[in-house]
Structure 1
């Protein structure tokens, strides 16, 4: 049994901008079921402090380089997972998105904010924050926490460190002037440390200094060691490949369960899969689509190039005129948003577009759609294809990263283990061909039901993945320094 400090910049339902929040909510719970002690360290953003108000307890006041920081204790809603909130003005006195302002640009002091967060994490990790909780493993996530392993590496006696890459495209890049203003040791400005082509990278802090590096699928762990997907860090990752592994994310099987889901019109299981049609009809009716048995395609995600929204747009008019319906939920690039909204006006009974994010609607799309589109250019893991499998909604995916690792392509009529449809050439035609294969199979209810049952029968929970993290922690603790006691 280990004491694990899970350091993250977001966790559902307190704060969420993407899949990291879902992982940060689910993995600690799965590890606690394996009898580990896990505590989450999270910035105390204004929205988080409001959400936790009335259920917080002040546990420490720290002086961090002359700045007063308050630590509050709360619990992840509906769980036994303890969360420490880092209450500093840069977080708690700022409304809105945790990383960028209302103009869409990054907050200009992100380096200062997340370095402060890392310094607090170091104090907690070294048991120097007055919490009386010795830490065995510090598990950091994405660039916002990358400086934690870098700071801890300066200490001769420290916990073991793990750094998980959720998306290598976001490297936490800042200028030399910003680096110089932070008061970090000058020797960190070096190509083998934090310097990155004339800038410095928080992400490199994790990649260079963490004892072990993980990412969120085996295929993505291989892809990021190539120039095509390495975002300039592939050489470093190849150098550290012996410390790098890929562990596929799981899902919260309680939150995403069609048999108990209160967001959807009609709960169902593999045995009552016919009830899925009621969810389709309710989804169509609520979103202004013609209530019919036409194939209904779903998409939930950021409207950005990574998610393949350009390929969807290239095919959408043709698919709608050929008798498909589509429902889209997401936000992102304004040009994509406008194109989708214009198409929705042109095809009001065939296409529904909701800009933004709505948790209930996300569940309803997973339950009501026939086919889920996930044509990502790259996808470290992806969660929506896993939700889709769980809900008997067959995914059409680009064969990359976690999509390749979690979906089995229906390649031939005699295949009995398939769970979805893949395309291998990242083109609009490649996506269209895969959708057409899915639509052909959709007409054969017996085979379609078999594929649905295959997906719904998979164990997509965090249990197996948590066991792999547990093994990784155990290997680290055999070789690491003892944790500090004071």
Structure 2
């Protein structure tokens, strides 16, 4: 079975969040289970130079994009046994930012068309499946059916489209349809790509992919209803028989407290060693080394989705508890300013690190006692899975992948691996925090059992890879 991953980012080359984690880890997990996988992604100029200088030029060709013919180089690099192919065009990808540029529609329309064109240039690789991820590649299933379906390499090719976050859809002005994508106005209807008077890239993936997946079973159910459906719930409901929720995993070669080179004191099931990491983190943050006070943390983009409005509403009540708090992340200026104000008002209790720092995130996962994830919605989430593997107890809202991975602690049966609350309400979050803090203070033996329960949860990519392989096989049987 030969599978092409088309994706906008992949760790360790470029990673801004969960999409990059998937691009870097899932292909190798699939390969370990017998699939032959290659990944195609843009050759961004901010890929580290130590990787770029090892890329091997394979070929170059020209990509049709409406009335344009654009140069495309194809470069190869093998990482962890997986072939990565990089689409090289400096006009589109020599940028300081990966996302958010003024010509993003043209940038990723080119990438989608370049992925399809590159398939004829892959050495000894005739794909059975092309697996597209998020709106950046959502045009591929449509373009395949419109421009390539009569060509031998393409007509039997099956497409899978994965929604990583339905909120981000790639919505652009109407003229993009003809002037950039190269389709006629018959596609500008409500039944096709039209969306509130504009063109919606993600809608193309929902309509034209052979199968649709998303990154947790609960999120697959949620997006069929208006609260989570981002005005696309009608299409998703119509295609629900083709929709499957497969929980993301985490890479235990990267996130393992026993082997992690980014933390000061490696550990397995040792509360004492975790306490050493807590002291080390407190020292790094300039916080008093208070062993018996729980240290809470958050590693997140600072946006509405992540529940920052709830947290800010009750921040003073949390900080009046006998706790310390660290938040690492960047995002909306409003939340950055609010958090900075709290940090200045509560020195010695709260530290706000306004940065995206993956290395320091490891120290936080290892050093804090509890992780806050009060999300409005969370397609999957990986922070809670990482935290649990580091013996850090998550406090989450019951939504999406958080509901699928965190079982609220039951003090009567001893079951559970974290704490949760159901409604999107600031005081429900506060009560969950108060409950966790009270439990931490009152029963250290039971807390250690809870930590062990969290650490023994298995969120490896192997089960996810197995589910994707079953999906691919079902498509290949249909093709046969």
TM-score between the two structures when normalised by the length of structure 1:
0.94
> Structure 2 matches for 1:416-455, cutoff 5 A?
416-443=414-441, 444-455=443-454
Inter-partner Cα distance in structure 2 for 1:296 and 1:325 = 5
Query: Is the partner of 2:230 in helix, strand or coil?
Result: coil
Deviating beyond 6 angstroms after TM superposition, the runs of 4 or more aligned structure 1 residues are none
The two structures, once aligned, show a CA RMSD in angstroms of 1.3
Contact 1:46 1:91 in 2 (8 A): no
Contact 2:5 2:39 in 1 (8 A): yes
The aligned counterpart of 1:120 is 114
> Structure 2 matches for 1:335-414, cutoff 5 A?
335-410=334-409, 412-414=410-412
The aligned counterpart of 1:308 is 307
The aligned counterpart of 2:123 is 131
Query: Is the partner of 1:299 in helix, strand or coil?
Result: strand
Contact 2:177 2:184 in 1 (8 A): no
Query: Is the partner of 1:426 in helix, strand or coil?
Result: coil
Inter-partner Cα distance in structure 1 for 2:59 and 2:10 = 22
Q: What is the CA distance between 1:415 and its match in structure 2?
A: 2.4
Match of 1:278 among 259, 276, 283: 276
> Structure 2 matches for 1:57-456, cutoff 5 A?
57-65=56-64, 66-76=69-79, 79-94=80-95, 96-100=96-100, 107-124=101-118, 127-129=119-121, 131-154=123-146, 155-156=149-150, 157-182=155-180, 183-270=182-269, 272-293=270-291, 294-410=293-409, 412-443=410-441, 444-456=443-455
Inter-partner Cα distance in structure 2 for 1:90 and 1:142 = 22
Inter-partner Cα distance in structure 1 for 2:359 and 2:166 = 29
Deviations 1:408-427 (A, max 9, x none): 011x3212220001111111
Contact 2:306 2:377 in 1 (8 A): yes
Matched, 1:56 2:48: no
Moved more, 166-175 or 305-314: 305-314
The aligned counterpart of 1:461 is 460
Contact 1:288 1:348 in 2 (8 A): no
Query: Is the partner of 1:62 in helix, strand or coil?
Result: strand
Query: Is the partner of 1:121 in helix, strand or coil?
Result: helix
Moved more, 287-296 or 341-350: 341-350
Deviations 1:340-397 (A, max 9, x none): 1121122221111111111121011111000000000000000000001101100000
Inter-partner Cα distance in structure 2 for 1:224 and 1:112 = 28
Q: What is the CA distance between 1:12 and its match in structure 2?
A: 1.1
Query: Is the partner of 1:14 in helix, strand or coil?
Result: coil
Inter-partner Cα distance in structure 1 for 2:247 and 2:18 = 13
Query: Is the partner of 1:149 in helix, strand or coil?
Result: helix
Unmatched tracts of structure 1, length 5 or more? 101-106, 482-486
Deviations 1:64-97 (A, max 9, x none): 1221110111133xx1221111011333322x22
Deviations 1:274-309 (A, max 9, x none): 210000000000011111021100000000000011
TM-score between the two structures when normalised by the length of structure 2:
0.95
